[in-house]
Structure 1
Amino acid sequence: MLLLLPTFLFLSLLPTSALRATETDKSAKQAKPLVLLIRELRNEDGDLVPIREEIRQVLNYFERELRVRFEIRRYPWIRLLNNARNGEGIVFGLSKNRERLAIFHFSEAIYANYVWLVTRSDASFVFNNMQDLRGKTVGVVRGASYGDEFDSLRNVLFQVEEDVSSHGARLKKLLNKRMDVMVFGDRRSQPEQVEQLLIRLLRNETSQVETAIEQSFKVLPKPLLIDDLHFAAMSPQYDAWIQKLNLAILAGRKSGEINRLLLRDK
């Protein structure tokens, strides 16, 4: 015969660690969620592309460490930054530049982002510095920043073609010669890995991808820059949260957990 113990007696028999975990999970679920602003990515049909699994796992790590639940809101870059300036939430994955440093309080770096230059296979060129972009049309995501030097030279040394975040749409504009080179940011450190990633993303966004398209673009060997990505928010409204995030970032860096999660799909 199965005996049902009273709740208080059952809990008293649990190990202290189990009780703490139960209380933590319960309090995290009941606590007010922390609003996290993330750049949206859409496919050619305008549908929102899901957040990549490795990034989801990193966000889960921070939720566990901070004992908080994120309320994720996704916007295009310009709207996202405007909403962050108005104190709506904390931005995930923001790089630093002079303008942003004057407005936002940044966390420690979460991980490094490599900003790559993608060209047509028959129109590649040697890139060593910004001067090699002279006279070219460079495709960028509307509202994105690619460092102070790049931002100061846009539409001066080279022209920019601002467009939506859809990788498929941007690659097709490149192949249709509406731009000479496309800027693409990712944490992968090898151009061959980035080429394979772009092919996978293109296949996910488009039901039919011709082999000729897959073979008609090239990632240049040297990245435009290596950019650290951070949490960022209006100060002082979110200062306490930024401090807590810093502790979680440093712990994840020391244990290797953040890097392990990011490498899951490589």
Structure 2
Amino acid sequence: MLIRISIIFLALVSFFTISFSANSQAQPSNSCTSFSGNGINNWYPFVYRKDDGQLTGIVVDGTQEALKRIGLELEIDNDKPWKRILYDLEQGNVDMVLGAYWNKERAAQYHYSEQLGTDELRVFVKDGKQFPLTSPQDLIGHSGMRLLGGSLGDEFDTFASNHLDFIEVPKSDSIVIMLQNNRADYGILGYVEGLQHIHALGLEKTIVPLNMPILSNAMHVMINKNASCAHHVEDMNKAILDMRDDGTLQNIIDDHLSLIRK
């Protein structure tokens, strides 16, 4: 009798252990309702904060719409510097960084979204200090500025590391101020982003872009591979492609460009 009771007890323990294990494995999928994300506060028109602190922009709105189509939400973190946002992604404090260029090193570490826009980058200089620009080689011998922790793509990053003299600046609008103060010969910024900073600082007659774009980079979202909803990245990317096909993404792009130009 005692042996029979022991067998029944062990069978029950085994059953509940297996059930608990199965439920624990299913938990991440069941608990996945949203992605947390953050982005730099002044990367116009892709990612920026309004006067009330709300994060918006082409990438933000495009991501929100794509997630909405697959039944998920986007929760935005508090305003932080770019380097801290990248650190938060690496540590898993946020699931995604809203707005990033593709490079090989990051792609090995994170998932990338489908393209949500294209950023045309220009070389900005102080008026009167323009120089001929037909290729990145023309930057050699000039002192430049770029965003601290920013990647401009594998090819340009490698070229810059080998041939260019850069100061890395924590905030992109500071690049415009430093150009005014003759801290460097040029700064690289997104075209719309740079014009917005110039306008906000009242420096339209002082800081100008050179005519030729130096780069044209696709805009993406980077996603931590260990995020609880990471298994939905493929679904999100399909939604982005659908938005491109049905015109939704272009409408978002046009809306933000019209707001920035006002």
TM-score, scaled relative to structure 2? 0.72
Deviation at 1:41, TM superposition (A): 4.0
The 5-angstrom pairing of residues 1-266 of structure 1 reads: 32-41=33-42, 51-52=55-56, 57-73=61-77, 74-88=79-93, 89-154=95-160, 156-167=162-173, 169-186=174-191, 196-200=195-199, 202-203=200-201, 209=202, 213-235=203-225, 237=227, 238-264=229-255, 265-266=257-258
Going from structure 1 to structure 2, the CA distance change for 1:133 and 1:105 (only over 3 Å counts) comes to same
Deviation at 1:87, TM superposition (A): 2.7
What is the number of residues matched between the two proteins? 217
Counterpart amino acid of residue 245 in structure 1: M
4+ runs of 1 displaced by more than 4 Å? 47-50, 52-56
Q: CA-to-partner distance for each residue in 1:65-91, whole Å, 9 max, x for gaps?
A: 233221112432322222222233122
Q: CA-to-partner distance for each residue in 1:200-233, whole Å, 9 max, x for gaps?
A: 3x25xxxxx3xxx321121112212111111222
Counterpart amino acid of residue 219 in structure 2: L
Gaps of 5+ in 2: 1-30, 44-50
Is the partner of 1:243 in helix, strand or coil? helix
Counterpart amino acid of residue 196 in structure 2: L
Counterpart amino acid of residue 246 in structure 2: S
Is the 8 Å Cα contact of residues 114 and 226 (structure 1) preserved in structure 2?
yes
Is the partner of 2:55 in helix, strand or coil? coil
Deviation at 1:64, TM superposition (A): 2.7
Counterpart amino acid of residue 123 in structure 2: L
TM-score, scaled relative to structure 1? 0.71
- Equivalent-residue separation in structure 1 for 2:52 and 2:159 (angstroms): 32
- Equivalent-residue separation in structure 2 for 1:79 and 1:195 (angstroms): 22
Q: Percent identity?
A: 22
Deviation at 1:246, TM superposition (A): 0.4
Deviation at 1:129, TM superposition (A): 1.6
Is the 8 Å Cα contact of residues 90 and 231 (structure 1) preserved in structure 2?
yes
Instruction: Give the root-mean-square deviation of aligned CA atoms.
Output: 2.7
Is the partner of 1:144 in helix, strand or coil? coil
Q: CA-to-partner distance for each residue in 1:181-211, whole Å, 9 max, x for gaps?
A: 111125x5xxxxx7753443x25xxxxx3xx
| Bigger helix share | 2
Counterpart amino acid of residue 209 in structure 2: V
Going from structure 1 to structure 2, the CA distance change for 1:127 and 1:230 (only over 3 Å counts) comes to same
